[in-house]
Structure 1
Amino acid sequence: MHRLAPTVLCTLASLAPFALAMADETSSTLKKIAETGVISVGYREAEPPFSYKTPDGKIIGFSMDLCNRVVEAVRQHLKLDELTVEYVAATSATRFVLVKSGKIDIECAATTNNAERRRIVGYSYPHFTTATQYMTRREDGIVKIEDLSGRSVAAASGTVNIDQLNTINREKQLNIGVIPTKTNSESFGLVADGRASAFVWDGILLAAMIAQAPDPSKFVLSEETLSLPEPYGLLVRHGDEEFRKVVNMALKQVFTSHDIDTIYETWFMSPIPPDGMNLNLPMSPALKAAFAAPRDYLD
């Protein structure tokens, strides 16, 4: 019988923590939920109409309504009498870490699905599509990205938008001073106060933030887009196909029924809490087609 050399034993010992970490990451979300009777749902503090917290403490939104259906589907799949929902606040910078670490089982917000991110997290079927745009003060008369040359532009850290801004800035040699912020609200505030000339984010979310401003007429959403349309998806842990399958089955049931029309109407075509903001945004033909035949986005 051969004895392992001390160096080999040391190597195996050093690899043990990594093996355990990998096991934790790929362990079944459904098993965890079944054992604890709790599902951890990630939400955003201020991302209307997708996911946000009202002044009275309610966590609501389009994505949250979809996740409520997922939670019920998980309860039924596991044959649980009750399933407790634990809400966990996430930000653009923390959402992926929270999902990977298991502190969130599913993130219900407006998170863009792209190839780079799919290497670290899993995505549900798409539930919305938007492109990167920017908002400015009307008085500044900015109509194209070149008008921002030499100016300061804000974008939240951890978003695809700041990466796209940096790429365009470099390729067009615009000499834009990019200001990374912790939150999107901070970016908006920089523009409102005149400390930045523009705020780069997803078009639909910028439209919602402008609509909530004390005087929306002071701001302009760019007609120009800085990216092709990209889909949002609900986040789950990477490699947990068993859980993702249950999530997608629940979404497909909603998407291919009249339920999606009702839910969409509630959040995009009607006044929403707390101040009655109404985006008046009809469902696009592309989104209707995506709902009619749900599929994974892998482009």
Structure 2
Amino acid sequence: MKLSAVTTSVALAAAALLAGPPASADTLKKIAESGKMTLAYRESSVPFSYLSGPGAPVGFAVDISNAVAEAVKKQVNNPALKVELQAVTSQNRIPLLTNGTIDLECGSTTNNTVRGKDVQFAVNYFYTGTRLLTKKTSGVRNYADLARKKVASTSGTTNAQVIRKYSRDNNLDLDIVLGKDHDDSMLLVDTGRAEAFAMDDILLFGLMGNARNPAEWTVVGDSLQVEPYACMLRKDDPQFQALVNGVIVSLMKSGEFEKLYTKWFMSPVPPRGQNLNLPMSKELRENLVAQSDKPAQ
């Protein structure tokens, strides 16, 4: 019995170590002691966080991340603080945050109550809903046109869950196929392995604009479930949460946030000079005043 108890204790200790940092995180202390901060980025979440060519990522969320990094440099009194970049996917972004590999993730991550059990979200900075990207020649105009057909989504996203639920609720018997990232999911449609790609509408417009031939593509379907995007940080870290929220709220109050929005959603963006021409939504404009971090349910 004693040996069993010791074995169990060792196993639990090992599991705790593998689980990542302790519940009471202190990101600012970690950064100050290591002399570096690690920011996450996405490779194809246009126009939030993406690679437009060789070099560093660009995008709306990247600009917000960089503003946070500048505030951290002042907070830890280290102008020479090293800022490292780490690519993440929909699948690994939360594990890499909780285990301390990255310190902040600002991209195209939905703030919802399920994820809120593992991470903390900052103030919401965008609102979107699930729609469909398809070839104009597909004949797909809405979800009913996809009954018993293959539909792509990206592994680890809320959209895959939303489309599965919609399929069950409406007896569509959709065959969901998952890409490892958004480019991979779009490729499934481009190569005929799926009829449409279900994802946040804003990301679909960005991917379409960056396609080899944007005129071949169209975004269709009703918007399913409006969801907020927000930056992720580790739970139970009030100091770092206050700093990140302070940066975002300051951008919102000063008018800089609207300038960034215009830059990425109402102006030509790299690499193809596409202009999404997407006016700010009612939900986002209201949150410039409310500055809420309320999650999707």
**Short-chain TM bin:** over 0.9
Instruction: Note the C-alpha offset of 1:81.
Output: 3.0
Any conservation in 2 of the 1:25–1:237 contact (CA below 8 Å)?
no
Any conservation in 2 of the 1:128–1:232 contact (CA below 8 Å)?
yes
Partner of 1:159 in structure 2? 157
Task: Tell me which structure has the larger Cα radius of gyration.
Answer: 1
What is the RMSD of the two structures over their aligned residues, measured on CA atoms? 1.9
Partner of 2:248 in structure 1? 251
**Pair 1:81-2:84 in alignment:** no
Q: Which amino acid aligns with 2:264?
A: W
Structure 2 SS opposite 1:229? strand
Structure 2 SS opposite 1:224? strand
Any conservation in 1 of the 2:179–2:188 contact (CA below 8 Å)?
no
Instruction: Note the C-alpha offset of 1:173.
Output: 1.9
Bigger mean CA offset, 134-143 vs 30-39: 134-143
Instruction: Note the C-alpha offset of 1:193.
Output: 2.2
Where in structure 1 are there 5+ consecutive unaligned residues? Answer: none
Q: 114, 126, 129: which is aligned to 2:127?
A: 129
Distance 1:247 1:282, change over 3 A: same
Structure 2 SS opposite 1:270? coil
Instruction: Note the C-alpha offset of 1:23.
Output: 7.6
Distance 1:19 1:44, change over 3 A: closer
Distance 1:9 1:141, change over 3 A: closer
Instruction: Note the C-alpha offset of 1:285.
Output: 2.8
Distance 1:54 1:144, change over 3 A: closer
Instruction: Note the C-alpha offset of 1:259.
Output: 0.7
Number of equivalenced pairs: 295
TM-score, structure 2 as length reference: 0.93
Partner of 2:238 in structure 1? 241
Q: 61, 68, 71: which is aligned to 1:70?
A: 68
Partner of 1:232 in structure 2? 229
**Pair 1:120-2:128 in alignment:** no
Structure 2 SS opposite 1:222? strand
Q: Which amino acid aligns with 1:253?
A: S
Partner of 1:267 in structure 2? 264
Any conservation in 1 of the 2:21–2:98 contact (CA below 8 Å)?
no
Structure 1 SS opposite 2:199? strand
Any conservation in 2 of the 1:166–1:178 contact (CA below 8 Å)?
yes
TM-score, structure 1 as length reference: 0.93
Partner of 2:40 in structure 1? 42
Partner of 1:15 in structure 2? 12
> CA–CA distance in 1 between the matches of 2:168 and 2:116?
25
Partner of 1:185 in structure 2? 183
Distance 1:22 1:44, change over 3 A: closer
Where in structure 2 are there 5+ consecutive unaligned residues? Answer: none
